[in-house]
Amino acid sequence: MDVSIDLLLDIVSKYNISVIPLIKKAYYFALEKHKDQTRESGEPYINHPLAVAIILATLKADVETICAGLLHDTLEDTNTSKEELIREFNINIANLVEGVTNITNLSLFAKDIQNNANLRKVLLSMSKDVRIIIIKLADRIHNMRTLEYKKDLNKQQKKSRETLKIYAPLAKQLGLYDIGVELEDRSFFYLDSEEYNQIAAMQKELLERFEEYKNVIIEALYNAFINNRLFSSISFKILGLYETYKELMNNLDIKNIHDLLKFVLIMDDIDSCYLALRYIHDLYKPYPSYFQDYIAQPKPNRYQSLHTTVFGPNENMIQMQIRTPFMEKITKYGITAYWHEDLENGSTLMQKAFDEQYPFYKSILNANKSAKNNSDFIQILEDDVLSEKIPVYNDEGKMIEVSKNITVIDYAYFVSPFFANHMAGVIVNGSFVDFSYEVKPYDKIRIISDVNSSGPNCEWLNIARTTLAKNSIKEYLKRKGQSLTRSPW
For 419-466, what is each residue's pLDDT tens digit?
A: 899 999 999 999 999 999 999 999 999 999 988 888 899 999 999 998
Catalytic center residues: 76-77
Question: The domain 388-479 is classified under which CATH number: 3.30.750.200, 3.50.50.60, 3.10.20.30, 3.40.50.360?
Answer: 3.10.20.30
**Exposure on the CB side of residue 170, measured as CA atoms within 13 A:** 28
Residue 265's Cβ-count burial label (10 Å; 0-12, 13-18, 19+) is buried
- Would you state the pLDDT for residue 489? 31
pLDDT of residue 133: 94
CATH class assigned to 194-335: alpha beta
The CATH fold of domain 5-188: Hypothetical protein af1432 (1.10.3210)
Return residue ranges of the chain for CATH 3.30.460.10: 194-335
Question: What local confidence, expressed as pLDDT, does residue 384 receive?
Answer: 83
pLDDT of residue 482: 64
Listed residue (147, 116, 167) closest to 39, CA to CA: 147
Burial class (CB in 10 A: 0-12, 13-18, 19+), 172: buried
**What does the pLDDT read at residue 417?**
85
Boundaries of CATH 1.10.3210.10 in the chain?
Answer: 5-188
User: Exposed/middle/buried for 93, CB within 10 Å: 0-12, 13-18, 19+?
Assistant: buried
CA 28 to chain centre: 33
Q: Determine the pLDDT at residue 107.
A: 46
Q: What whole-number distance in Å separates Cα of residue 381 and Cα of residue 364?
A: 7
**What is the spatial distance between Cα 136 and Cα 455, in angstroms, rounded to a whole number?**
41
Residues of the chain falling short of pLDDT 70: 1, 103-111, 251, 482-489
pLDDT at 103: 66
Task: Tell me the CB-side half-sphere exposure of residue 371, using CA atoms within 13 A.
Answer: 23
This prediction has a pTM of 0.89
